[in-house]
Amino acid sequence: EAGVTQSPTHLIKTRGQQATLRCSPISGHTSVYWYQQALGLGLQFLLWYDEGEERNRGNFPPRFSGRQFPNYSSELNVNALELEDSALYLCASTSGLALAKNIQYFGAGTRLSVL
Amino acid sequence: AQKVTQAQTEISVVEKEDVTLDCVYETRDTTYYLFWYKQPPSGELVFLIRRNSFDEQNEISGRYSWNFQKSTSSFNFTITASQVVDSAVYFCALSVRDYKLSFGAGTTVTVRA
């Protein structure tokens, strides 16, 4: 069974540009979570999508947005990139039942570098 | 708000030594879930264990063991007879009703041959 897959592996952008990161959850999983792992800031929750809806959002500005498609894959968009957006972006998925206790399975991440 | 504290930033041991990673959590929720994840150099977070707030039974899985104590709000992790492959960053995390994972800062474990 395939795990959570993320693309691209690496992404290099310049300040002010937009970045789009993609995530495919484990087959059968309906919830997708996004986390940012920036140097010195640790792992921070960004967004949670379930059944196509945004359910929860972390303490990030509106230029961080995303969506979830009917096949449960998800996209994270970061507009007006700033240097401090450079980080590893991790996607996780769960099955959607009893979410709080469910294990989140993670992908290998997309490393975004903003120059 | 939830908070997870991993006081140890880095631990370095020689192979076959035991390693204990400390995790202290804070939450006002009575129902919560605690997790440990491993992050090898490849970057992917690998799930190790989940424990709910009503189950204080300790658990052993091979060389890994976990000690959950509600009285001290701690969920410590021990690697017995460490191996070089155990070298990674280990994260403790907490989940409550809002479903997101709140992570500690992580502990980097280096096992030297």
Closest chain B CA to residue A97: B99
Which tens digits make up the pLDDT trace of B7-61?
999 999 999 999 999 999 999 999 999 999 999 988 899 999 999 898 888 888 8
State phi, psi for A99 to the nearest 5 degrees: -60, -40
Closest chain B CA to residue A104: B47
- Gyration radius (Cα) of chain A, Å: 13
Among the partner residues A35, A99, A108, nearest to B99 by beta-carbon distance = A99
Omega prior to A62 cis, within 30 of 0: no
Category of B73 on φ-ψ map: left (φ > 0), alpha (ψ -120 to 50) or beta: left
The whole-number pLDDT of residue A66 equals: 96
Which tens digits make up the pLDDT trace of A18-66?
999 999 999 989 999 999 999 888 999 999 999 899 999 999 999 999 9
Burial class (CB in 10 A: 0-12, 13-18, 19+), A95: middle
Which tens digits make up the pLDDT trace of B101-111?
999 999 999 99
The whole-number pLDDT of residue B58 equals: 82
- d(CA B44, CA A90) in angstroms, rounded, equals 8
The whole-number pLDDT of residue B63 equals: 93
The predicted model gives A60-73 an average pLDDT of 96
Among the partner residues B47, B96, B105, nearest to A103 by beta-carbon distance = B47
Q: Which H/E stretch holds residue A20? A: strand A19-24
Cβ distance of A106 and B44 shorter than 8 Å: yes
